[in-house]
Amino acid sequence: MTLPKEQSEAWPELPYGQWRDTYATLHLWTQIIGKVRLSLTPWLNHSWHVALYVTARGLTTSPIASGDRVFQIDFDFIAPSLHFRTGEGLQAEIPLRPQSVADFYSAVFATLADLGIELKINEWANEVPDRIRLSEDRLHAAFDPDYARRWWKILVQADRVLKFFRSGFVGKCSPVHFFWGSFDLAATRFSGRRAPPHPGGVPNLPDDVAREAYSHEVSSAGFWPGSGPIEYPAFYSYAYPEPPGFRKANIHPEGAFYSEELREFILPYEAVRAAASPDKALVDFLQSTYEAAANAGGWDRAALECPFGEVGVPHVPSV
């Protein structure tokens, strides 16, 4: 299918098989940078302190405090390079090119040392099937800057639409943020009620972390490049705990389905990319899956929801 040039550039193709190796390497690179933030940041509910954020050129840690100093690390997928900046004005840069995870690890920590920043991270990769020591991994070494840039462009669009969707909720809601463990961009709404203990069992992730992350009822959605049973990029939405009837809900748009293996709704990225209005298709998916979770779970929707935000127009609480 041929898309208009503007739509094709904003929502580029991302064939799983062609960028699989770059994806695997980039996943582990982002874990190294995310663990730098994790190692210096006080724990925040639901692991929100570990996430990265989408920028106009890539991903950022946002400012990280190290004692009374501050620094930031940014992936730039346009250059492509990794940038380090400190509050004193010091800067450094590492080019993003084909290199092993171990070499990337060494370059990152050598650069941090040059900037006077000393720290240690847990070197074991999280949420991947195999136990991988990041400082020793020479298996993953692929990097295609074109596919990395395409993936980031999709993150930009997903981030924008998820932020719009987030504006329609006044209850507790996460930022739109990128989790480097699961390699997905996510936004999570909360009912306000406690949830039953999570069973754990996430590969190479402590059960205590999973249980803290899912301490309260959620409806969560986001974008994920795929893996395992879904070997294509997709948007997803799930509820924890999953209420009775959730998986049988009528979900929009056409092409969305419930994955019994993943236990979440899936909307293939291609269905959004090829839609007459990608924004509408994605918002329809986010809204219909949220409504499925909230209705089946008995959420107090009147108290938690508000109209979607408009630029410059404050929400006026109803009396």
Annotate 72-90 with DSSP letters as a single string: EEEEETTTTEEEEEETTS-
Beta bridge partners of 70: 65
| Residues 178, 204 contacting (CB under 8 angstroms) | no
Measure Cα distances from 121 to 34, 41, 209 in Å.
10, 12, 16
Whether residue 83 has pLDDT greater than 60: yes
- Is the same domain home to 191 and 105? no
- Is the same domain home to 33 and 73? yes
- Domain assignment present for residue 6? The answer is no
- Is the same domain home to 162 and 63? no
- Domain assignment present for residue 311? The answer is no
- Domain assignment present for residue 50? The answer is yes
- Is the same domain home to 234 and 200? yes
* Tens digits of residue pLDDT in 250-296: 999 999 999 999 999 999 999 999 999 999 999 999 999 999 999 99
**Pick from 49, 52, 47, 89: nearest CA to 69:** 89
Last residue of a domain, one of 136, 167, 197: 136
Percent of the chain scoring above 70 in pLDDT? 99
- Domain assignment present for residue 227? The answer is yes
Annotate 246-285 with DSSP letters as a single string: GGGS--SSTT-EEETTTTEEEEEHHHHHTSSSHHHHHHHH
Last residue of a domain, one of 136, 160, 192: 136
C-alpha 237/C-alpha 190 separation (Å) is 13
- Is the same domain home to 108 and 164? no
Q: What is the mean pLDDT of the chain?
A: 96
- Domain assignment present for residue 5? The answer is no
Check residue 148 and give its pLDDT.
Answer: 98
- Is the same domain home to 111 and 234? no
Check residue 236 and give its pLDDT.
Answer: 98
- Is the same domain home to 299 and 157? yes
Check residue 318 and give its pLDDT.
Answer: 65
Give the domain extent around 59. Answer: 12-136
Q: What mean pLDDT is predicted for residues 114-127?
A: 97
Whether residue 4 has pLDDT greater than 90: no
- CA 246 from chain centre, in angstroms, equals 23
**In the numeric block, which tokens belong to residue 106?**
């060494």
- Is the same domain home to 149 and 111? no
* Tens digits of residue pLDDT in 168-224: 999 999 999 999 999 999 999 999 999 999 999 999 999 999 999 999 999 999 999
- Is the same domain home to 129 and 193? no
Last residue of a domain, one of 78, 108, 136: 136
Give CA angle at 39 (203, 121), nearest 5°.
65
Q: What mean pLDDT is predicted for residues 24-47?
A: 98
Whether residue 319 has pLDDT greater than 60: no
Q: Total structural domains in the chain?
A: 2
Check residue 137 and give its pLDDT.
Answer: 98
- Domain assignment present for residue 3? The answer is no
- Is the same domain home to 119 and 163? no
- Is the same domain home to 149 and 297? yes
- Is the same domain home to 271 and 177? yes
Check residue 112 and give its pLDDT.
Answer: 98
- Domain assignment present for residue 120? The answer is yes
Check residue 129 and give its pLDDT.
Answer: 92
- Domain assignment present for residue 7? The answer is no
Whether residue 2 has pLDDT greater than 80: no
